[in-house]
Structure 1
Amino acid sequence: MTSTSTSAAEPTGFLRAHQSQFSTLYRAIDVVIILACLQFSLSVLSLPLTSTEIMLALGAAVGFMLTSESLELYRSWRFSRGEDLVRTVTLSWAITCGLSASVLIYFAPPDRLMTEQLVVWALVTWSVMAIWRLMYRQFLFYLRRAGYNSRRAGIVGLTDAGLALANEIAANDQLGTRFIGFFDDRDASRLQSEGSQLLLGKVDDAIELARQHHIDLLYIALPLKAEQRIMEIIKRCGDTTIDVQLIPNLMIYRMLHARWHRVGQIQTMSVVDSPLLGFSAWLKRVEDLVLSSLILLMIALPMLAIALGIKLTSPGPVLFKQDRYGIDGRRIRVWKFRSMKVMDNGSVVKQATKGDPRITRFGSFLRRTSLDELPQFFNVLQGSMSIVGPRPHAVAHNEEFRTIVDGYMLRHKVKPGITGWAQINGWRGETNTIEKMEGRIAFDLAYIRNWSIWFDLKIVLMTVFKGFIGKNAY
Structure 2
Amino acid sequence: MKQKKSIFIRPLVIVIDLVLINAIVYFISDKEYLNFPFLFYVSIFWLFISYYTKFYNVYRYTHVSRLITLLLSQFFVFSLAYLSYFSLFKEGQIINNQFFVFALIFCSISFIKFFVFFLLKKYRSGGMNYRNIVFFGGMNSAKKLEKLFQNKSDLGYRFYGFFSDKTYKSKFFLGPTKNGFKYIEENNIDEVYCDPTEISQSLLIKIRKFVNQNNLELRLLPENKAIYSKDFILEYYGTIPILKPKKLPFERIETHVIKRTFDIFFSLIVIVFLLSWLLPILWFSVKLTSKGPFFFKQQRDGINGNQFVCYKIRSMEINKDADIISATKDDKRITKIGAFLRKTSLDELPQFFNVLFGDMSIVGPRPHINVQTKKYINEVDNYLVRNSVKPGITGLAQISGYRGEIIKKSDIENRVRLDIFYIENWSFFLDIKIISQTCFNFFIKEEKAY
TM-score by length of 2: 0.52
Q: 1:273, 1:413 within 8 Å by CA — same for their partners in 2?
A: no
Distance 2:271 2:371 in 1: 30
Q: For residues 338 and 253 of structure 2, what CA distance do their matches in structure 1 show?
A: 40
- Whole-Å Cα distance in 2 between the matches of residues 387 and 426 of structure 1? 18
Contact 2:303-2:387 within 8 A present in 1 as well? yes
Structure 1 distance, partners of 2:283, 2:199, is 61
1:337 is aligned with what amino acid? I
In structure 2, what is the equivalent of residue 41 of structure 1? 88
Checking the alignment, whether the CA contact within 8 Å between 1:370 and 1:468 is kept in structure 2 is no
1:331 corresponds to 2:307: yes
SS in 2 for 1:415: coil
- Percent identity between matched residues is 32
8 A Cα contact 1:220 1:244, kept in partner: no
Whether the 8 Å CA contact 1:424–1:467 is kept in 2: the answer is no
The alignment partner of 1:358 has SS state of coil
Residue pair 2:299, 2:308 contacting (<8 A) in 1 also: yes
Is 1:223 aligned with 2:200? yes
**Counterpart in the other structure of 1:373:** 348
Match for residue 438 of structure 1? 413
Distance 1:315 1:55, change over 3 A: farther
Deviation at 1:353, TM superposition (A): 1.8
Amino acid at match of 2:306: R
Cross-structure match for 1:187 = none
Q: 1:64 to 1:271 in 2, by over 3 A?
A: closer
Q: Distance in 1 between matches of 2:448 and 2:288?
A: 27
Please state how far the C-alpha of 1:384 moved relative to its aligned partner. 1.1
Q: CA deviation at 1:54?
A: 5.6
Instruction: Indicate the SS of the match to 2:250.
Output: coil
- Kindly provide the CA deviation profile for residues 121-161 of structure 1, in whole angstroms up to 9, marking residues without a partner as x: xxxxxxxxxxxxxxxxxxxxxxxxxxxxxxxxxxxxxxxxx
2:392 alignment counterpart: 417
**292-301 or 359-368, which deviates more:** 292-301
Correspondent of 1:301 among 277, 280, 296: 277
* Counterparts of 2:414 and 2:270, CA distance in 1: 30
Residue 294 of structure 1: how far off its partner (Å): 1.2
Judged with a 3 Å threshold, the aligned counterparts in structure 2 of structure 1 residues 33 and 471 are, in CA distance, closer, same or farther, namely: farther
- CA distance in structure 2 between the partners assigned to 1:466 and 1:66 by the alignment: 56
Deviation by residue 1:290-312 (Cα, 9 ceiling, x = unmatched): 11111111212111111111011
Q: What is the CA-CA distance between 1:270 and the residue it aligns to? A: 9.6
Structure 1 counterpart of 2:316, which letter?
Answer: M
SS at match of 2:422: helix
Q: Which residue of 1 aligns with 2:361?
A: 386
Give the deviation of 1:287 after TM superposition.
1.9
RMSD between aligned alpha carbons?
4.5
Mapped partners of 1:461, 1:67: distance in 2 = 46
Distance in 2 (alpha carbons) for counterparts of 1:464 and 1:63:
51
AA at the equivalent of 1:450: N
Paired AA for residue 41 in structure 1:
L
Alignment CA distance shift 1:407-1:244 (3 Å)? closer
Corresponding residue for 2:95?
A: 50
Instruction: Determine the C-alpha separation between the residues in 1 that align with 2:366 and 2:75.
Output: 46
Aligned length: 282
Partner of 1:466: 441
Q: Does structure 1 conserve the Cα–Cα contact (< 8 Å) formed by 2:300 and 2:308?
A: yes
Q: Which residue of 2 aligns with 1:90?
A: none
Given that residues 360 and 391 in structure 2 are in contact (C-alpha distance below 8 angstroms), is that contact kept between their aligned partners in structure 1? yes
Shift of 1:367: 0.2
Shift of 1:396: 0.9
Q: 1:392 to 1:330 in 2, by over 3 A?
A: same
> What amino acid sits opposite 1:339 in the alignment?
S
Q: Is the counterpart of residue 408 in structure 1 residue 383 in structure 2?
A: yes
CA contact (8 A) 1:35 1:58 kept: no
| Structure 1 gaps, min length 5 | 1-18, 71-217, 228-232, 261-266
Q: Quick one: distance in 1 between partners of 2:82 and 2:246?
A: 43
User: Is the alpha carbon distance of 1:220 and 1:27 closer, same or farther for their aligned partners in structure 2, counting shifts above 3 Å?
Assistant: farther
**Farther-moved stretch of structure 1 (425-434 vs 358-367):** 425-434
TM-score, scaled to structure 1: 0.50
Please report how far the alpha carbon of residue 473 of structure 1 lies from its aligned counterpart in structure 2 after TM superposition: 0.4
CA pair 226-295 structure 1, distance change in 2 beyond 3 A: closer
The equivalent residue for 1:310 is 286
Change (3 A) 1:51 1:243: farther
Relative to structure 1, is the Cα distance of residues 432 and 271 closer, same or farther in structure 2, using a 3 angstrom cutoff?
farther
Residue 364 (1) aligns with residue 364 (2): no
Structure 2 CA distance for aligned equivalents of residues 50 and 303 of structure 1: 56
1:68 deviates by 11
> Cα 1:273–1:336, aligned 2, differ >3 Å: closer, same or farther?
same
Residue 279 of structure 1 corresponds to 254
After superposition, the Cα gap between the structure-2 partners of 1:454 and 1:308, relative to the gap in structure 1 and judged at 3 Å, is same
Confirm whether residue 342 of structure 1 aligns to residue 389 of structure 2: no
Over 3 Å counting, the alpha-carbon distance change for 1:243 and 1:405 in structure 2 is: closer
Q: Deviations over 1:345-374 (max 9, x none)?
A: 67x622212221111000000000000000
1:26–1:298 distance in 2 versus 1, CA, 3 Å: same
Q: Please, which runs of 5 or more residues in structure 2 have no aligned partner? A: 1-65, 116-194, 205-219, 236-241
1:352 maps onto 2:397 in alignment: no
